[in-house]
């Protein structure tokens, strides 16, 4: 995988997509706790999948988060607003799994219906949701079934409605942007934020003067994860159970989508309470480059179809191709580790020769946070030792909030000598 790859593990849903499912979860709670209008609608859906009669297995939704602009005289306007965040959400209806694929907002791509190549967020500014859908279709080779659009006001309104959120502000944030109507003035420490402060916490990108630890899009998305988790925890508080109908109305009033209310209710019913191991998210990879005077993100074209195959089409082989496996030889025979590498390569894994290691009596596997929680076990089965001990130790985020590339490291031990074949057929 290229330098700059960014895989988000587990429940790494950025703010706007999390808010969408938060709405669905609230609708589900309303149906079971209040008996209100939303509850009646939910109870009418005997089979939630009936809300999607043409979709047998998967639903693909292009999720867009936008932010309105503001004039110098503090007037709000939406003309030429760009997508601040762009995600493809693929829902596996049969297995109740959620897959997310992020498209970095500065991705330099051909814009559908035009003769120009530009940042992907220009698609919405020049042609709304439809142009964004067709632009992403051209990039992925798959047309989304629906779109879901959330304004930044959705976050502010939701946070205020649930009584604020508790987060840890790790570093001072001081920034003013009149055009974007963004004013961030937060000091470090664990604190309770209102809606305006929460939006400022999530949107901060750089300081008024100099640079800070919190600068950049990578760190911003990390904070969005923190805020989303805080919102989920706050909405669970008993004092919010009494106003769930109001929370639903606030959420839906800030959502624009071609999904019907019945379909949103059905999704809330189907995916409420989905376990973390059933949620996988990743971001397209590439490198920051200058095109003319513009700083853009050039996607790694070879990896795009692999991510699409894995997260949108459910192709396990594509996931294996995106999973680096480091093989270390813990025996006195250098050909033993090669046998394991040959098996892994034949199965489609991206195999890396590891540095020498001390002699080991037992083959062990270290999982540093690969996307699929079953990934390390699949590697063990592939090399012929399904019962090899597996240690899961996800790597820690770096100073920008991103973790280094997750890998599976196989240390081949003496036990592999007796289980591996004497010769390898190529």
Q: Which of 316, 347, 367 is a domain's end point?
A: 316
The count of C-alpha atoms lying within 13 angstroms of the C-alpha of 270, restricted to the half-sphere facing its C-beta, is 25
What is d(CA 187, CA 207) in angstroms, rounded to the nearest whole number? 13
Same domain, 262 and 345: no
pLDDT bracket for residue 153 (50, 70, 90): low
Same domain, 297 and 332: no
Question: Is 426 inside any structural domain?
Answer: no
Residue 276 pLDDT: 65
What is d(CA 207, CA 140) in angstroms, rounded to the nearest whole number? 35
pLDDT bracket for residue 309 (50, 70, 90): very high
For the segment 2-19, the average pLDDT, to the nearest whole number, is: 35
Question: Is 295 inside any structural domain?
Answer: yes
Q: Please give the residue range of the domain that contains residue 51.
A: 6-316
Residue pair 319/310 in contact (Cβ under 8 Å)? The answer is: yes
Pairing verdict, β 83-92 and 58-66:
antiparallel
How many domains does the chain divide into?
Answer: 2
Question: Is 359 inside any structural domain?
Answer: yes
The two structure tokens encoding residue 44: 């009418």
Q: Which of 270, 294, 316 is a domain's end point?
A: 316
Kindly report the pTM of this predicted structure.
0.72
pLDDT at 75 over 70: no
By percentage, how much of the chain surpasses pLDDT 70? 74
Q: Which of 316, 335, 353 is a domain's end point?
A: 316
pLDDT bracket for residue 54 (50, 70, 90): confident
Q: Flag the least confident range among 208-217, 284-293, 309-318.
A: 208-217
Instruction: Indicate the average pLDDT of the chain.
Output: 77
Residue with tokens 């867009």: 64
Mapping DSSP to helix (H, G, I), strand (E, B) and coil, where does residue 227 land? helix
CATH number for the domain that contains residue 132: 3.40.630.190
pLDDT at 109 over 70: yes
Query: Which comes out higher in pLDDT, residue 372 or 25?
Result: 372
pLDDT bracket for residue 382 (50, 70, 90): very high
Residue 328 pLDDT: 95
pLDDT digits (tens, 9 = 90+) for 242-283: 776 677 677 677 778 888 877 877 777 777 667 766 777 777
pLDDT at 69 over 60: no
How far CA 413 is from CA of 210, 346, 349, 419, in Å, comes to 51, 21, 20, 11
Same domain, 363 and 409: yes
What is d(CA 227, CA 246) in angstroms, rounded to the nearest whole number? 21
Question: Is 134 inside any structural domain?
Answer: yes
Same domain, 263 and 384: no
Same domain, 223 and 268: yes
Same domain, 308 and 329: no
Q: Which of 59-68, 108-117, 203-212, 367-376 has the highest mean pLDDT?
A: 108-117
């Amino acid at each position: 995988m290229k330098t700059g790859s960014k895989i988000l593990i587990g429940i790494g849903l950025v703010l706007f997509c999390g808010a969408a499912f938060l709405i669905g979860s609230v609708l589900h709670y309303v149906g079971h706790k209040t008996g209100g209008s939303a509850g009646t609608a939910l109870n009418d859906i005997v089979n939630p999948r009936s809300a999607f009669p043409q979709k047998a297995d998967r639903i693909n939704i292009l999720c867009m988060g936008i932010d309105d602009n503001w004039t110098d005289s503090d007037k709000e306007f939406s003309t030429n607003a760009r997508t601040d965040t762009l995600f493809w959400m693929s829902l596996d209806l049969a297995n109740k799994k959620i897959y997310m694929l992020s498209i970095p907002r500065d991705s330099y791509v051909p814009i559908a219906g035009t003769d120009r190549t530009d940042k992907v967020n220009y698609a919405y500014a020049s042609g709304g949701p439809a142009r964004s859908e067709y632009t992403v279709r051209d990039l992925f080779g798959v047309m989304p079934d629906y779109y879901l659009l959330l304004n930044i006001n959705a976050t502010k309104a939701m946070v205020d409605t649930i009584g604020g959120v508790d987060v840890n502000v790790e570093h001072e944030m001081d920034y003013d942007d009149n055009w974007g109507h963004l004013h961030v003035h937060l000091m470090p420490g664990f604190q309770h934020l209102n809606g305006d402060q929460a939006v400022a916490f999530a949107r901060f990108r750089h300081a008024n003067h100099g640079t800070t630890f919190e600068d950049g899009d990578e760190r911003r998305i990390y904070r969005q994860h923190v805020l989303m988790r805080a919102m989920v925890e706050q909405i669970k508080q008993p004092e919010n159970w009494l106003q769930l109908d109001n929370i639903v109305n606030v959420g839906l009033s800030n959502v624009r989508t071609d999904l019907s209310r019945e379909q949103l209710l059905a999704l809330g019913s189907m995916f409420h309470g989905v376990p973390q191991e059933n949620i996988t998210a990743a971001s397209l990879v590439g490198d920051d480059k200058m095109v003319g005077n513009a700083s853009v993100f050039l996607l790694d074209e070879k990896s795009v179809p692999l991510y699409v195959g894995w997260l949108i089409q459910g192709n396990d082989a594509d996931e294996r191709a995106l999973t680096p496996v480091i093989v270390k030889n813990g025996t006195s025979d250098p050909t033993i580790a090669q046998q394991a590498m040959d098996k892994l390569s034949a199965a489609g894994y991206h195999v890396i020769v590891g540095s020498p290691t001390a002699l080991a009596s037992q083959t062990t596997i270290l999982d540093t946070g690969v996307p699929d929680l079953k990934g390390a076990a699949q590697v063990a089965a592939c090399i012929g030792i399904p019962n090899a001990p597996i240690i899961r130790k996800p790597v820690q985020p770096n100073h920008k909030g991103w973790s280094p590339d997750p890998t599976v490291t196989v240390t081949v031990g003496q036990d592999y000598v007796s289980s591996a074949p004497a010769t390898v057929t190529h």
